[in-house]
Every structure is written in structure tokens, then in C-alpha cells.
Amino acid sequence: MRTLGAKHRTKFLCVCMTVCILLSVLSGCDTYSSPSYEFGKFRVHLNSSDSAKATAAMICEWKWSGDPNDTVIEIPDNYSDKIIIKSVGGYIGTGAPTPFRVVLEDESRLFTSYYHSQTAGTDVLFKDDPHRFGVKRDAVYEIVDLEFTMKLGKNVQQVYISFIGRERNPEMSYIGIINDDGSITFYRIFFRFECDPENKTYYAEDGVLYEKKTNARPEKVQDVYLE
């Protein structure tokens, strides 16, 4: 098999990076700088690597306490006096997709032993057979559907949350909590939305998010509803 030389590999990588940037620009999506910052229970990226020049922020994560009654995520209007919170999930660096995620605050309780080697090429889903995804055969576990309410601030212009293929990639859309007795509760994450009346991009109806311009569901918000 013929392989690329170092010079050609460099050119190939440059072309890939250029394509990513062009796709982001053509799709009208803002991109954010790779460094991230803690902001209360959120993790954010800014639209400039120089925070003094930043004008907008993207929220990429919200830290969850693990309490099933703690399910309200309120997106603020501003990160600072000069920086608005414009995006929930989005694109960072050269345009790398970064969907919004709920993450467990106490990582020591998090189930992380997922694997997929036995499920390649099969139709096995996590909800039907968690043991095929790394849950030990003798483990005591339950799967619980949990719906979070996301309240969007008036400045949010982009929401990117996608759980397509959630049952084959459970670590992206489930949160497995190891309980004190060793049992595991896998919370299957869903969302419902509420919008600030002043938001010019989105509105919510019965918990479902819609774009004001088209009255359609956003393309970047998929498979997140408990329907």
C-alpha cells in the first residue's frame, strides 16, 4: 500500500483544516477558541483566544449534582458585561463539532467502563443489553429516563445538542452513577426547553424548541426529547 510522505501529509491536513473552516463559515456557524473556562456550573469557550477581545461565549457543559430533582439548567444572558452567551453547544478551533453535554459534578461516582468492541456490526442497543457495552454480568443496575429543563437566555442564537445514535454511544447521552451500595443507575438524558420572550432566534412550545424564522425544529437539536 502506498503511503503519504510527510510533505503530502502536511498538505492533506491543511486542506482538511481549510475545509472545516469553510464549512463552518458557509453554514453561518460561529466558532470558538479552544481554551475553556469555568463559569459557575458551566464550562464555556470564548470567540477569541484573547479574553479581552472576546464578545461572545459558547456553553459546552453543565455540571450536574446527580440529584434527580436538580434538573433545571438556566442559561444566563451574559458571561460578563462585554461578553454575551450566544451559543449552547457549537464549534471550537477550526470547526470541531462540540454538542452541549450534561456531565456529572462528582466524577468519582461516574461509570466510565464503556466499550463497543462486541457491538460492532450488530443491532444491539445499550437499553436492551448494557452488558454488551461494559456493564458486568453480575452488576445490579437500572435505567431511568430523566428530563432536564433548559431555560434559554435572550442572547442565545445557536443550540447544538444531538443524541443521534444514543443507544450505540451511551457515554454521550447517558450518565451512569455508581451508588453507595455498588449498584448503578443509568440516567438516560432528555431535554425540554423554555425561552426568554426576548430571544429573537428561538421559541418553545410544549417543551420543544423551534426557530422563529422557519417555525421548524432546529437541525442541530435532534433525538433529545422524551416523546
Can you spell out the DSSP letters for 144-188? EEEEEEEEE-TT--EE-EE-TTGGG-HHHHEEEEE-TTS-EEEEE
Contacts of 18 (CB under 8 A, 6+ apart): none
Q: For the chain, what is the total number of helices (H) and then of strands (E)? A: 2, 17
pLDDT score recorded for residue 123: 86
Mean pLDDT of 208-224: 97
Strand partners, 61: 43, 101
Cα separation, 6 vs 222, whole angstroms:
40
Q: Which parts of the chain fold into alpha helices (H)?
A: 6-26, 170-173
Residue 97 above 80 pLDDT?
yes
What's the one-letter identity of residue 114? Y
Residue-wise burial string across 21-30, b where 16 or more C-beta atoms lie within 10 A, e elsewhere? eeebeeeebe
Cα separation, 190 vs 143, whole angstroms:
13
Residue 16 above 50 pLDDT?
no
Residue 174 above 90 pLDDT?
yes
Average pLDDT for the chain: 89
Contacts of 51 (CB under 8 A, 6+ apart): 37
Q: Please write the tens of the pLDDT for every residue from 116-173.
A: 877 777 889 999 999 999 999 999 999 999 999 999 999 999 999 999 999 999 999 9
- Please answer whether residues 223 and 162 qualify as being in contact, where contact means their C-beta atoms are separated by less than 8 angstroms: yes
Q: How confident is the model at residue 19 (pLDDT cuts 50, 70, 90)?
A: very low
Q: Where are the domains of the chain?
A: 30-222
